[in-house]
Amino acid sequence: APAPPLSHPKAVGLCGFSPEECAQFRLLLDELGGSAYKVLPLGGRCMHGTVGEALSAEEVDWSQPRDSAANAGKVGAMPSFPSPGAPRCALFCGLPTDEVDIVAAVMDENRWDAFAVVVVTELLVRETLGTVVVEAVKAQKDAGAIRRRKEFIDWKKTLSPEGSVAAAAAAAATGPGVESGAPVTRGA
């Protein structure tokens, strides 16, 4: 049986995402009821540290410029972009697996570039972040992790309207510009 997901820290680490995408993800997570979760843009030196160290970092103050004094020394505060071809991966810690699926599906539905997903477990906390990201991207690419928009829309219809995250995901995914049937890849 796979190791159970960790419940803390409540954080999402984004590797290979631009600073603007990270800010958009912060807004998306807030809209889906995830304001209690930190959003951490990860890259550079932290890729050589452990997953646990990266996800324990202090979140930037999203209301301040990245290079402001309020964000000095925080992970993701430096105004840099990932290098071209950097592996894209979202690491979820503390979020129930079914809600990870909803967040990832909403990202797919909104046509975010391909990314791998990792649900952090006790076994991964001590692993090197860069190794975990590269292995996740490779594993999901090898497995052909492809989500089709029609599959998401069919799946979305089965969600309970009472769940705040589920209801918010359904509302976010049916916004303007949503077309069914176009392929969307996650983890390629």
Q: Along the 188 residues of the chain, how does pLDDT read in single tens digits?
A: 677 777 789 999 999 888 888 889 999 999 989 999 999 988 888 889 999 999 998 888 888 776 655 555 555 544 455 666 678 899 999 988 888 888 988 888 888 888 899 999 998 999 999 999 999 988 887 765 544 434 445 555 555 454 445 444 445 444 433 333 333 334 43
pTM of the entire structure?
A: 0.71
Burial 136-150, CB ≥16 within 10 A → b, else e: bbeebeeeebebebe
Residues whose CB is less than 8 angstroms from the CB of residue 144 and which lie 6 or more positions away in sequence, other chains included: none
pLDDT of residue 69: 53
